[in-house]
Structure 1
Amino acid sequence: MSSFETVFGRAPEASASAPGRVNLLGEHTDYQGGFVLPTAIPQRITVSVGRNRSGEHVLHSANSRTTLRVPVGEVGSEFAPYITGCLTLSGVTEGLDVFIQGNVPSGGLSSSAALEVATLRALRDLYALELDDVALALRGVKVEHEFVGVKCGVMDQMASSLADTTTMLLIDTRSLERRAVPFPAGAEVLVIDSGVPRRLAESGYNERRAQVEEASRLLDVKELRDVTDVGTLDGLPALLQKRARHVVSENARVLAGLGEDAAAFGQLMNASHASLRDDYEVSHPQVDALVALLQAHPDIFGARMTGAGFGGAVVALARAGRAAGAAQDVLTQYGPDGRRVVP
C-alpha cells in the first residue's frame, strides 16, 4: 500500500483529513440562500503535503495510482484543479508534493468538498494560516467556482468542515448560522451508491442554478429563500415555475422536519425525492428505481437521492439496527449491474 513516504521518499510536513457528507433534506437550496440538513459520514479523505523545492507541484492519488505534475501557478487537469485551486488561493508559490488517499465514494457524498477541506486543513497546518473552519469552507467553495467550474453553493464544504457523524447540521446558507440537530429517535441513516456515475461540471447543475437565478430576478427577490408561498410562482414561465417550486417547497420541508419523528421525517424525504425528480429534474431512472425499492421496504421510513443528482448516491432513514438488513434486501432486488431486477 502506497504512502507519502513510499511515493516521495520522505515524511510529509503536514497531513489532514476531512469527511464526506450526506444530505438528509435541503437539496439544491444552498445557492438560493436556503436551509440544509446534512451530516458527516465516516468515510474521509486524507491529504499529506511537503515542500519539494522545485517549480512544480507533484500530486499523487493513491486510489487511482495517478501522479500529476503541474507547474506552480497553473491549474492542471483531471483531479488537479481541486488541489491547485486550494494552493493558489492560499498563496502557495513554491512546489509541493501532495499525497491523496481516502474512501469517500464519488457521486453525491461530496468527495470533492472533502478533498478541498482536507487540502486546506493541511495547508493551514503547513503555513500556520489564520483560517477558521467557516473561512476554510468558503475558500473551498471559491475553488469550485474559479478552478473547477461548478457554481456550487456552500453546503458541501460547510458540512465537510463543520459537521460530525452523530448529529445533523442545520445550516442557514444565507447567514451561515448553524446548529446541531439530533436524528429522529429510533432511526439510523443508510447510504447506498446507485452505481450511476455523474460529473457536475458536465451536467445540468450550472443550468439549474441559472434557471433559479432567473426565477428570482423575475420575481424581484434576492433569492428564492425569500419566497414562502408557492402560489407566488404562478406568473413564472412553466419551466422556471417548476424549478422554483422545488426550491421553495424544499426549504419548507427542511424547517418542517426539525423535531419530527422518524415516520414524519421519512415522508418529507420521500416528498423531497419526488420534487427533485419531477420539478427539478435532476434524478436518474436507476436512482429512481433504487429509491422506490427503499421506500417500499418495511424497515425504511423514507428515502431520496442525495447530492446534486444526475446519478450518484441515495440516502434512507431506517429503523435503528435494521439498515444493513434493509440494504441487503434492496440491493438483491436492485441487481449487481445497477438496474432493478424484475421478479
Structure 2
Amino acid sequence: MIAQQPIPVYESLSEVFGSLEASLQHAMRWNNLAEEFEERFGRKPAYIARAPGRINLIGEHIDYALFGVLPAAIERDILIACGPRLVPKIDARETETAAGSVVAENTNSKYTRQVFAPAAKQPEEVSETQARAEAWHLDINTKELRWESYVKAGYYGVLNHHFSGGSELPVPVDLLVTGSVPAGSGLSSSAAMVVASTLSFLAVNGKLQAGSEVGPSAKLNKGGLVQLAMLNEKRVGVNSGGMDQAASVMSDPSSALFISFYPTLSASAVPLPTHAVFICANSLVVSDKALSAKRGYNLRVVETLVAARILANSLGVDIGETDRITLREVASKYAQEKDGDDMGPDALEQVLKKLEDKLDVLKPKISPEGGQLGVTMDEMIEMSGLSKEAFYQVYLSWVDIEATYFQLYKRVKHVFSEARRVLLFRRTCLEAAGSSDSNANVYLQNLGSLMNDSQDSCSNLYECSCPELDQLTRIARDAGAIGSAGWGGCTVSLVREGDVEGFIQKVKEAYPPYKGLEDDALNEVIFATKPSRGACVLKL
C-alpha cells in the first residue's frame, strides 16, 4: 500500500526524477536554488524539499465526504532549500536566536523576508488532554493570509507532534522557497507549500532519517505525512478533505492516483491511457480558499455534513446527537456495511444509484417561487432534528460560514453522482490498460464524457465554478479537447497525443486573457503535463 511507504530521502537528483536523463532538465533550477540559498545565508543548504502541485482528473468536492478521488501530481512544484542555523552569540535579534526560530525568504521578490519563532505554551495554558496537540503556538492571521502562513502551518504539526514532551527543542532554521505552481489557480499550490514546509522542518530537525532514536518520527510514512499536512493546512482556515495533500505526497510518475478515505486512507495507482495527454489552462481568476472559505469551501463542507444527517434520519440510520456523519458513512450504514469494511467499487456504485433517488427529503417543504431548492438556516436546523443549541455546537462552532440559502439537495446530488463518475473513470482506465490500441478512442471518449459531466455538475449543482472557468472549458472542447473540467481557476483538458500544439494555439486565440501571450508567458498559463512523482527530500 502506498500510504505505508516511507517518505523518500534521496541523495542525488537522478533518484528524485527516476533517471539521469530525466533529471537534466531540472538540474539548473535546483542548482540555482542551492546557490541562491548560499548567497543569502552564507552556507550551503542541508536539504531541498519538493512537493508537487496536482491536477484532479475527476472527483471534485467529494473528498471531505470521504468518497474516492482521482488526482495526479504534476511536474510543477514547490521547492524549499533549508538548513539549521548556527545561532550567533552576540549582536543577534532575540527572535532569530529563540528555540526553533525561522528565517523564511522567497525567490519571488513580491514575498518579503519573514522572521518568526514558535512560543512554547506554559503548562497552565493547556489542558491535560490537549497537551500533546497544543504544546506550541505560532501566530497565523487567517483573515489576511500571507505567504509565510503556509510555512507556519507546515511547522505547526512538526512542533506539536515531535516536540511536545519538552525534553527536546527544535533547531533554528533558514528557508528559501521557490515555486512553479501558479498560486490560486486550482493546482493546489497551498497544499504543496504546506507539504514542502512540513518536510523541511522534519528534515532539518532529523525526523526523517531511518533509524532515528525518536520513535514516532522514525515511523512517519506517506500516509502519516498526508494526515499531518491535512491538519497543518487547517491552521490557515481551510477544512481540507485530504485529496490535495495525498496527491502531492503519494503520486506515482506513470499513473493517476485513486485515493480512498473510507474506512481508512489508502491509495492505488491507476494507469492512464498511453495516448492521453492532460493540458492545464489557468483561467487567471485567482481563488484563495482560505479567504473565501465561509462562502465557498467551508460552506460546502457544512452543507454536505448537515445533509448527511438529514438523509440518514430519513433512511432510518441511527446516529448520535453529537455525531458529524459524512455522506460516505451514510452510504455504508444504508448498505449495512460492517465497520472497517469496504464494500468495493462495484457495490458502492449500485448503492449510490439507489441513494440518488432518495434525495427529495433535502428539498424545502414548500418550494419558493422561481424553483429555489435551498433552505434557510431555521429550516435546516428543523430538518436536522437537533435543537438550535445542539446544531450550532455540532455544525457551526468550529467553522465560519455565510449563506442565505443552504443548497442541501444540489450539493448531495453532485457528491453522489461525482462519486459514481470517479468509479467509472477508474474502471475505464483499468479496462483500457488491458485492451488493444484499436479500442483507445472509445476509452478516451468515455473518459472525456465523464470529465464534461463533472464540470457541468460542478457548475450547476455544486456552484464551485465561475464564468471564466465555464468559458474556458467550452473553448477547450471547441478546440478539440475530448473532455475538459476544472475548479479553483484552472481547467484540465484531455487531448489526444499529437494534438497538443494545435490545441494550445486554438485556446490562445479564443480565450481573451491569452491574446498577446507568447513563449514563456504563454507556457505559464497553459501547458501539457505528465503525472509526477510525489513529495520527497534531497539530502545535500
Which piece of structure 1 moves more, 257-266 or 213-222? 213-222
Contact 1:257 1:265 in 2 (8 A): yes
| TM-superposed deviation, 1:185 | 4.1
Please report how far the alpha carbon of residue 6 of structure 1 lies from its aligned counterpart in structure 2 after TM superposition: 1.8
Counterpart of 2:422 in structure 1 is: 254
Q: Secondary structure of the equivalent of 2:462?
A: coil
Matches within 5 A, 1:20-169: 20-52=53-85, 53=87, 54-55=97-98, 56-63=101-108, 64-73=110-119, 74-77=138-141, 78-91=146-159, 93-106=170-183, 107-129=185-207, 130=217, 131-145=220-234, 147-169=235-257
Deviations 1:102-140 (A, max 9, x none): 211122111111112222222332223222111111111
Moved more, 281-290 or 61-70: 61-70
Q: Does 1:230 align with 2:230?
A: no
Identity among equivalent pairs (%): 34
Greater percentage in strand = 1
CA contact (8 A) 2:414 2:461 kept: yes
Looking at both structures, which has the greater relative contact order when contacts are Cα pairs under 8 Å and sequence separation is at least 6? Answer: 2
For the 8 Å contact 1:70–1:76, the answer to whether it is kept is no
Instruction: Give the drift of 1:24.
Output: 0.2
Query: Is the 2:140–2:236 Cα contact (8 Å) retained in structure 1?
Result: no
In 2: Cα distance, 1:114 partner to 1:320 partner? 28
Name the SS for the 2:273 alignment partner.
Answer: coil
Structure 1 CA distance, aligned partners of 2:253 and 2:496?
Answer: 17
1:206 alignment partner in structure 2: 298
Cα deviation digits, residues 75-103 of structure 1 (max 9, x gap): 34512221122223212644321111121
Runs of 4+ in 1 over 4 A off after TM superposition: none
Give, in angstroms, the shift of residue 219 of structure 1. Answer: 1.3
CA distance in 1, matches of 2:117, 2:256: 40
Structure 1: how far apart are the matches of 2:253 and 2:482?
Answer: 20
Aligned residue pairs, count: 332
Q: Name the SS of the counterpart of 1:303 in structure 2.
A: strand
Contact 2:107 2:176 in 1 (8 A): yes
CA shift in 2, pair 1:337/1:189, >3 Å: closer
Is the Cα contact below 8 Å between 2:49 and 2:80 reproduced in 1?
yes
Using the alignment, how far apart are the partners of 1:152 and 1:295 within structure 2? 30
Cα-to-partner distance string for 1:229-277 (whole Å, 9 max, x where unaligned): 2112111033200011111100000001124211001000000000000
Would you say 1:9 and 2:42 are equivalent positions? yes
Is 2:472 aligned against 1:290? yes
| Matched residue type, 1:19 | P
Alpha-carbon contact 1:191-1:314 (below 8 Å) kept: yes
Give the whole-Å Cα distance in 1 for the aligned partners of 2:478 and 2:361. 37
Range with greater deviation from structure 2 (136-145 or 118-127): 118-127
Q: CA deviation at 1:7?
A: 1.8
SS at match of 1:211: helix
Query: In structure 2, what is the equivalent of residue 195 of structure 1?
Result: 284
Q: 1:241 to 1:41 in 2, by over 3 A?
A: same
Q: Structure 2 length normalisation: TM-score?
A: 0.59
Is the 2:107–2:177 Cα contact (8 Å) retained in structure 1? yes
Q: Secondary structure at the match of 2:477?
A: helix
Give yes or no for contact 1:185–1:262 (8 Å, CA) kept in 2. Answer: no
User: Which residue of structure 1 aligns with residue 91 of structure 2?
Assistant: none
CA RMSD after TM alignment: 1.8
Aligned partners of 1:72 and 1:94 also within 8 Å? no
Separation in structure 2 between the aligned mates of residue 108 and residue 6 of structure 1, nearest angstrom = 33
SS at match of 2:358: helix
Quote how far apart the aligned CAs of 1:144 are.
1.3
Question: Equivalents in 1 of 2:254, 2:230: separation in Å?
Answer: 24
Measured after TM superposition, the shift of residue 71 of structure 1 is: 2.8
What is the TM-score of this pair, normalised by structure 1? Answer: 0.92
Give the aligned partner of residue 326 of structure 1: 503
SS of alignment partner, residue 105 of structure 1: coil
Structure 2 unaligned blocks of 5 or more: 1-31, 88-96, 120-137, 164-169, 208-216, 318-324, 332-351, 364-372, 374-406, 429-442, 516-540
Cα separation, 2, equivalents of 1:13 and 1:184: 39
Structure 2 letter corresponding to 1:198: S
Partner of 1:341: none
How many angstroms does 1:337 deviate by?
6.0
Match of 1:301 in 2: 482
